[in-house]
Amino acid sequence: MREIIFDTETTGLDSREDRIIEIGGVELRDHFPTGRTIHLYINPDGRKVHPDALAVHGITDDFLADKPIFAKVAEEILEFFDGAQWIAHNANFDMGFINAELARLGLPSIPGERVVDTLQIARRKHPMGPNTLDALCRRYGVDNSHRLKHGALLDSELLAEVYIELIGGRQTALGLAGPERTRSIEVEDQSDVVTLKRPMPLAPRLSAAEAEAHKALVKKMGDKAIWTKYGLGAAPTGQ
């Protein structure tokens, strides 16, 4: 199964008028990171960055001036996501912008069945919240200390770790730490292991009186008593 954990930054909150200015994504296969990512800055084609949005992501109009417009990178984005699940936190927001951008180009929208919203997963798993990305990072011990501003690729990388925790935990995602931190586990060859027996059996733990009392109890239970299969409770020997 192929999944892309992604995030977008935009000029504002209205997908009908505002535009995507950054997209980042991390590829997972069977919930393991492959190392493939996508990260693009996009010129909003005349739309100015709203001051409130600027305070969140810090991406300025001047920085975006020489970046390609969405029409120039749409094919690259669609090729990267081709055949994968689109996974985002508060996916309705991101997909609203993605589909609005595709509609402007006359391209079909991404169907809802290909989209997974980690915010909805988090709300079901932790109904008392909070379930922001920062809060989930704290809950699951994901280091987000370097997240001073929102950024599409950084947020995607953090969300990938959170997503793995939401669906089952770190044992499912041993590769998220990257190849430089991957540890191999060596299994010791046990083909030559010899099982030793005690030279002398241990002394019985039951006294003779206790063993006789047990026999008498089993006899009262009748021939179908399960103890009859194991010798009527004779005093056991140790090893």
* pLDDT per residue as tens digits for the range 124-145: 999 999 999 999 999 999 988 8
Domain that holds residue 220: 198-239
Could you tell me the pLDDT band of residue 218, with boundaries at 50, 70 and 90?
A: confident
Q: Could you tell me if 170 and 234 lie in one domain?
A: no
Could you tell me the pLDDT band of residue 239, with boundaries at 50, 70 and 90?
A: very low
Structural domain includes residue 188: no
Last residue of a domain, one of 178, 206, 231: 178
Q: Could you tell me if 109 and 142 lie in one domain?
A: yes
- According to the model, what pLDDT value does residue 194 have? 53
Residue 170 has pLDDT above 90, yes or no: no
Q: Could you tell me if 8 and 83 lie in one domain?
A: yes
Q: Could you tell me if 69 and 139 lie in one domain?
A: yes
Structural domain includes residue 186: no
Residue 193 has pLDDT above 90, yes or no: no
What sign does the dihedral 93-97-102-104 (CA atoms) show?
positive
Structural domain includes residue 190: no
Could you tell me the pLDDT band of residue 196, with boundaries at 50, 70 and 90?
A: low
Q: How many domains does the chain have?
A: 2
DSSP 8-class letter at 184: -
CA distance 7 to 217: 72
The percent of residues in the chain predicted with pLDDT above 70, rounded, is 77
Residue 69 has pLDDT above 70, yes or no: yes
Structural domain includes residue 37: yes
Phi, psi of 65 (to 5 degrees): -55, -35
Q: Catalogue the active-site residues.
A: 150
Residue 38 has pLDDT above 60, yes or no: yes
> In the structure encoding, which two tokens stand for residue 142, read together?
């994901």
Q: Could you tell me if 157 and 214 lie in one domain?
A: no
Q: Could you tell me if 217 and 129 lie in one domain?
A: no
Tell me whether the omega of the peptide bond preceding residue 68 falls within 30 degrees of 0, making it cis. no
Residue 162 has pLDDT above 50, yes or no: yes
- The DSSP element (H or E) to which 179 belongs, if any, is none
Phi, psi of 25 (to 5 degrees): -150, 150
CA distance 111 to 101: 14
Phi, psi of 84 (to 5 degrees): -100, 165
Q: Could you tell me if 121 and 215 lie in one domain?
A: no
> In the structure encoding, which two tokens stand for residue 55, read together?
């305070």
Residue 54 has pLDDT above 60, yes or no: yes
Residue 101 has pLDDT above 90, yes or no: yes
**Chain mean pLDDT for the chain:** 85
Strands of the 20-29 sheet, one edge to the other: 32-41, 20-29, 2-10, 85-88, 115-117
Under 8 Å between Cβ of 88 and 95: yes
> In the structure encoding, which two tokens stand for residue 180, read together?
């430089």
Q: Could you tell me if 12 and 121 lie in one domain?
A: yes
Q: Which range has the worst mean pLDDT, 101-105, 177-181, 193-197, 205-209? A: 177-181
CA distance 9 to 17: 14
CA distance 142 to 183: 19
Residue 172 has pLDDT above 80, yes or no: no
Mention every residue, 6+ apart, whose C-beta is less than 8 A from residue 152. Answer: 6, 7, 8, 9, 22, 23, 24, 25, 39
CA distance 88 to 81: 13
Residue 7: how many other CB atoms lie within 10 Å: 26
Mention every residue, 6+ apart, whose C-beta is less than 8 A from residue 159. Answer: 5, 7, 87, 88, 89, 118, 133
Could you tell me the pLDDT band of residue 6, with boundaries at 50, 70 and 90?
A: very high
